[in-house]
Amino acid sequence: MLISICIPTRNRPEHLLNCLNSISLQTKKNFEVCISDNCSKQNIKKIIKPYRNKLKFKFRRNKTNLGFAVNLLKVSDMASGDFTWFLGDDDLLIPTAIEELTNIINRNKTTDFFWVNSFYLKFSYLQKFKSPFHTKYLPKNMGKHSMLTKDKKLKFFELFDKKISFDYLVGIYVCVFRTIKWKKNLHVIDKKLISDVKPWSNFENTCFFIKVFCAAFKKSKVYFCSKPLSVNLSEVREWNDLYSFVEIVRIPEVLDYCRSEGMKFFPYLINKNYALRNFFNYFVKILIKGEKSGLKYINFKKHFFYNLIYPNSWLSLLYYLFRNLKTVKKNFLF
């Protein structure tokens, strides 16, 4: 078994159904599907049942809500493939995804980590079609997570580059990695912090996988696949109120952690500065919206004052004003 597709799910049966349908349409079947249900209110086994004869399944259900991070860890433990690919229960695969990924892996046998591009699509588009959604109806022109158009062989920390993606592996659905190395490095996780079920309340329960990736793959060969093989849906996330917090607090923390693990100084500075391009306007949003936007998780000394040394922390005000002036001008002219 070459690939384990690992899907953590909770209370999103409609999206999971679309996800599984896209997986069932794969042109190559050398994979297993591992699903960890984080105590959904719905009967997830019923959603899976029509696909049991089409796909190789592993399924488990948590008796209580363990939080996203622990559920992700639980589903990764189920993987027996040589490589693991995390998918959100709202993600889709293009029909040739596994076939093309298999070919890439086979051409790069000494590579441990693959960054696989993804399309963007609004969920409202899927609602125009019969459920479950069939990927033959995907639009021809979709946005891409990374705009780079050429595949590359890289060193691990070279993936943390704004030219590749703005979220620096936080969007874990782009990561395909050697399973055995992942499992051998889970000791870096702080079990107490990861068990906090409040969404994104600490670095561990938001980005623990970054710590594991650094431990497992910082000396590994990696491959950047520019062609999108999955579709990431917007208009779905329950944590939209926390988006500003994730961008200006958790993503910069990812870069800080990578620097502590060996990321080179100048790439770190360049990308840390870029990560703060919405610094002041997003902090204002968080202050206005309060706790639901992550205000109680902010350490002002660490997350605010320490970041004032970066130019974009201050320039973010000008960027914000410039964007809004352009919008006003456009609306006025048309």
Measured distance CA(82)–CA(135) in Å, rounded: 27
Residue 243 belongs to a domain? no
Q: Give the residue from 214, 238, 262 where a domain finishes.
A: 238
Measured distance CA(79)–CA(264) in Å, rounded: 33
Do residues 162 and 45 share a domain?
Answer: yes
Do residues 296 and 149 share a domain?
Answer: no
Give the residue among 47, 49, 50 at the shortest CA–CA distance from 9. Answer: 47
Do residues 63 and 189 share a domain?
Answer: yes
Give the domain extent around 83. 3-238
Do residues 216 and 268 share a domain?
Answer: no
Distances (CA, A) of 36 to 16, 44, 45, 68: 12, 10, 11, 10
Per-residue pLDDT in tens (0 to 9) along the chain, 334 residues: 699 999 999 999 999 999 999 999 999 988 999 999 999 999 999 999 999 999 999 999 999 999 999 999 999 999 999 999 999 999 999 999 999 999 999 999 999 999 999 999 999 999 999 999 999 999 999 999 999 999 999 999 999 999 999 999 999 999 999 999 999 999 999 999 999 999 999 999 999 999 999 999 999 999 999 999 999 998 877 778 999 999 999 999 999 999 999 999 999 999 999 999 999 999 999 999 999 999 999 999 999 999 999 999 999 999 998 887 755 445 544 4
Q: Give pLDDT, residue 240.
A: 85
Measured distance CA(253)–CA(275) in Å, rounded: 10
DSSP codes of every residue in 171-200: SGGGEEEEHHHHHHTGGGS-HHHHT--STT
The model's pTM = 0.95
Distances (CA, A) of 208 to 91, 117, 200: 21, 21, 11
Do residues 46 and 21 share a domain?
Answer: yes
Q: What's the angle, vertex CA 69, arms to CA 68 and CA 71, rounded to 5?
A: 65
Do residues 148 and 188 share a domain?
Answer: yes
Measured distance CA(280)–CA(234) in Å, rounded: 25
Q: Give pLDDT, residue 333.
A: 47
Residue 123 belongs to a domain? yes
Do residues 97 and 193 share a domain?
Answer: yes
Residues 6+ apart with CB under 8 A from 120: 142, 143, 144, 145, 231, 232, 234
The sign of the dihedral angle between the CA atoms of 171, 100, 135, 43 is negative
Q: Give the residue from 201, 219, 238 where a domain finishes.
A: 238
The CATH number of the domain holding residue 7 is: 3.90.550.10
Q: Are 132 and 20 in contact (CB under 8 A)?
A: yes
Q: Are 198 and 88 in contact (CB under 8 A)?
A: no
Do residues 89 and 124 share a domain?
Answer: yes
The total number of structural domains that make up the chain: 2
Measured distance CA(277)–CA(67) in Å, rounded: 30
Residue 227 belongs to a domain? yes
Do residues 210 and 273 share a domain?
Answer: no
Per DSSP bridges, beta strands 3-9 and 83-86 are parallel
Do residues 262 and 231 share a domain?
Answer: no
Q: Give pLDDT, residue 327.
A: 56
Residue 244 belongs to a domain? no
